[in-house]
Amino acid sequence: MNPAYSVVFFTVCCGLAQGLFLAIFAVDMLTRLSFIEMQSPQFFVWGHSITLIFLAVGLLSSFLHLGHPERAWRAVMMWKTSWLSREVIVLPLFMLIVFAYGCSYWLGSTLSLWLGVLGLFLCLALFVCTAMIYMCLKFLQEWATTLTLINFVVLGCASGLGWAATLATAEDLTIATPLILWAMICTVLGLLVRVIMLLRNAQLKPRSSLQTAIGIKHPHIVQKAQGFMGGSFNTREFFHGRSLQTLLRIKWFFLLLTFILPVMFMVIAFCNSHATVTMLLACALQFIGLIAERWYFFAQANHPQNLYYSSIS
């Protein structure tokens, strides 16, 4: 597939925001249950603010993918059958609840707990809606697996925990070290999931062939031309046009920046809980790596029509 950079940026930003919200909510619940001591209110205020910023940036970037952004509201009309429509509904609701949760916590309202629980369910629902947009496409074997959902959740939690740990180190809070540890654990788990996905996708074989594409059962069919000299919607939208060498470089690039380097910097920060700059660097590298990882996720999906348009002339 040809990755749309707006969708790549949307999924990365929203996943990070969801992971950050889950980290903040977990700290809030542990505080309420007296498992950890009361944390600085600034940690929660900044956490909710950064969550909303990333959600807003992701939402705005998604509009760049639309030919007619003024008609975006129509996306909700197919909520009974479309996971995209459900995502369009859940995302604004999640943003509203995150804002209300942050305000209620700052004001000390008793509603903050229930708003947090509601935000938790919306956060998980958003993960499911986003992943199911791709998982439900059975003809794209690279996406049609539960690993897609697991990958979205784990990488979102890893990046969100990294930002939560950075906030905690900046505030010099006692939860900084545990958050860094959990960020490392989720990053390593994300690496494991991503490697499993890469190994699985490398073994996939097309379910279609030139014979099934044109309905001819002759054993020897070779395409000589596409039927036109220039490109078309099919050749632009369903194939990225990069070489195998380029894909290989991008794969090693995102493996390095998303997992290996961030873990190295997190280990350094773990040994020194005041290493705010180190955590910021880890988060920045991981964010760049996640952009590359998500681009590769979309590009690796091989649309069956590419079998038919495999030759230009």
pTM assigned to the model? 0.91
**Structural domain contains residue 220:** no
- What distance in Å separates the CA atoms of residue 168 and residue 21, rounded to the nearest whole number? 14
- What distance in Å separates the CA atoms of residue 296 and residue 305, rounded to the nearest whole number? 19
Q: How confident is the model at residue 313 (pLDDT cuts 50, 70, 90)?
A: very low
Tens of pLDDT, residue by residue over 107-148, are 887 888 999 999 999 999 999 999 999 999 988 899 999 999
**Structural domain contains residue 212:** no
- What distance in Å separates the CA atoms of residue 70 and residue 185, rounded to the nearest whole number? 42
**Structural domain contains residue 186:** yes
Percent of the chain residues topping a pLDDT of 70:
93
Residue 225: per-residue pLDDT: 67
- What distance in Å separates the CA atoms of residue 275 and residue 268, rounded to the nearest whole number? 8
Q: What is the DSSP string of 20-64?
A: HHHHHHHHHHHHHTTSSPPPPHHHHHHHHHHHHHHHHHHHHHHHT
Tens of pLDDT, residue by residue over 24-53, are 999 999 999 988 888 888 899 999 999 999
Residue 187 structural domain: 5-206+236-307
Tens of pLDDT, residue by residue over 207-217, are 777 777 777 88
**Structural domain contains residue 241:** yes
Q: How many domains does the chain have?
A: 1
Tens of pLDDT, residue by residue over 154-179, are 999 999 999 999 999 998 888 999 99
Helix 244-255 × helix 276-300 angle, to 10°: 150
* Cβ neighbours of residue 71 closer than 8 Å, sequence gap 6 or more: none
- Model confidence at 230: pLDDT above 70: no
Is 189 within 8 Å of 48 (Cβ atoms)?
no
Where residue 51 sits, what CATH number does that domain have?
1.20.1630.10
**Structural domain contains residue 96:** yes
Q: What is the token pair recorded at 212? A: 């099934």
**How are the residues of the chain apportioned to helix, strand and coil, as percentages rounded to the nearest 5?**
75, 0, 25
Other CB atoms within 10 A of residue 215 CB: 6
**Structural domain contains residue 228:** no
What's at 238, amino acid-wise?
F
Tens of pLDDT, residue by residue over 294-308, are 999 999 988 877 766
In the DSSP assignment, the letter for residue 238 is: S
Which residue is listed with tokens 């809606």? 129
**Structural domain contains residue 37:** yes
**Structural domain contains residue 292:** yes
Is 59 within 8 Å of 75 (Cβ atoms)?
no
Which region, left, alpha or beta, applies to residue 227 given φ > 0 means left and ψ of -120 to 50 means alpha? left
